[in-house]
């Protein structure tokens, strides 16, 4: 595997379900990110982890819970989601955070909440 991988690629869940999104980066980076991408909107930053420490929680509802067990893996735990949470969820990584280094994105998880 190379770059940034995400699983699953597609997920359909009911509003009462609990599911998790997984991201893994094979680039040796120290920072990882979760973004939400909805139609007609810019990418919205959700969470930032730098050296496994969460440095940003961009006013994200508590029904989204991130976890970063090490600098290569990032999870997004989902529970009691709303239909408006349906979107493409993107994971990214960069060498460091805030120092001008580019972010590399995974393919995303297309989430549909029914």
Partner 1 sequence: EDQVTQSPEALRLQEGESSSLNCSYTVSGLRGLFWYRQDPGKGPEFLFTLYSAGEEKEKERLKATLTKKESFLHITAPKPEDSATYLCAVQARGSQGNLIFGKGTKLSVKP
Give me the least distance between CB of 80 and partner 1, in Å please.
26
Choose the stretch contacting partner 1; rule: CB under 8 A; options: 11-19, 61-69, 70-78, 85-93: 85-93
Q: Which is nearer to partner 1, 2 or 41 (CB)?
A: 41
104 touches partner 1 by CB under 8 A = yes
Among 38, 32, 4, 33, smallest CA distance to 112 is for 38
State which of residues 29, 32, 49, 106 lies at the interface with partner 1 (CB under 8 A): 106
52's CB contacts (< 8 A; 6+ apart) are 68, 69, 70, 71
Applying CB under 8 A, does 59 fall inside the site for partner 1? no
d(CA 92, CA 108): 9
Examine residue 16 and tell whether it contacts partner 1 (CB under 8 A). Answer: no
Q: Are strands 10-13 and 109-113 parallel, antiparallel or unpaired?
A: parallel
CB atoms within 10 A of CB 38: 13
Size of the site for partner 1 (CB under 8 A): 26
Among 67, 73, 80, 107, binds partner 1 (CB under 8 A): 107
Please answer whether residues 22 and 61 qualify as being in contact, where contact means their C-beta atoms are separated by less than 8 angstroms. Answer: no
Binding residues vs partner 1 (CB under 8 A): 4, 6, 40-43, 45, 48, 55-56, 58, 88, 90, 92, 97-100, 102-108, 110
């Amino acid at each position: 595997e190379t770059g940034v991988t995400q699983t699953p690629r597609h997920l359909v869940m009911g509003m009462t379900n609990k599911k998790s999104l997984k991201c893994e980066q094979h680039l040796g980076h120290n920072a990882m990110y979760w973004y939400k991408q909805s139609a007609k909107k810019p990418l919205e930053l959700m969470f930032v982890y730098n050296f496994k420490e969460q440095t940003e929680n961009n006013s994200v509802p508590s029904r989204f819970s991130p976890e970063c067990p090490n600098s290569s893996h990032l999870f997004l735990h989902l529970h009691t989601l709303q239909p408006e949470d349906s979107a493409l969820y993107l994971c990214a990584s960069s060498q460091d955070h805030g120092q001008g280094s580019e972010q590399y994105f995974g393919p995303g998880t297309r989430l549909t909440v029914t």
